[in-house]
Amino acid sequence: MEIFKHKDFGEIRALNINRKEYFDAVECCKMLGYSNTHDAITRHCEKEGIIFYEIGIVSGKKRNGEDIIQYVNRKFIDEPNLYRLIIRSKLKSAEKFERWIFEEVLPSIRKYGVYLGNKTIDELLDNPKFLENLINKLEYKTNSYKEVRKGIGEDYILR
């Protein structure tokens, strides 16, 4: 799972399943100004492009400082359904959101296989050590993730 971040829109969870991108449907609807997210998804999205995926959400902290993880099924929509929601939104800020998705996020995924953001790409091009630091952080997170998997078992990690 990836989380795309933008200073104006917040965060969107995204999945890549069988080389196909899916975006958190409720988060997308909220960013596009839909007050009734269920209605927007029902009216504008095609069922074939909707999936449910169980994710862990941090819902608090234990006394020892560890995160409390709550597992919930979230609705994700494919790229064509995201376009449908964007095109049908009447909110003025939807145009900014549309530009961000069409001009930054999707081209980055197509070019690099991941969304890094223009600032990160510029930093990668300007500073070779930045990539090394990025790889070290990824390795640390991957090792931490493996430790969590050992501790709680495979069945409880993102399905």
The tens digit of pLDDT for each residue in 106-141 reads 787 777 777 777 677 777 788 878 778 777 777 776
Choice between 71 and 124, residue whose per-residue pLDDT is larger:
71
Which pair of structure tokens corresponds to residue 69?
């993880």
**3-state class of 45 per DSSP?**
coil
Q: Mean pLDDT across the stretch 3-17?
A: 79
Percent of the chain with pLDDT strictly greater than 70: 85
**Gap between the Cα atoms of 115 and 109, Å rounded:** 5
**Gap between the Cα atoms of 14 and 25, Å rounded:** 10
The domain limits of the chain are 2-106
Contact 20, 34 (CB under 8 A): no
Q: What is the CATH number of domain 2-106?
A: 3.10.260
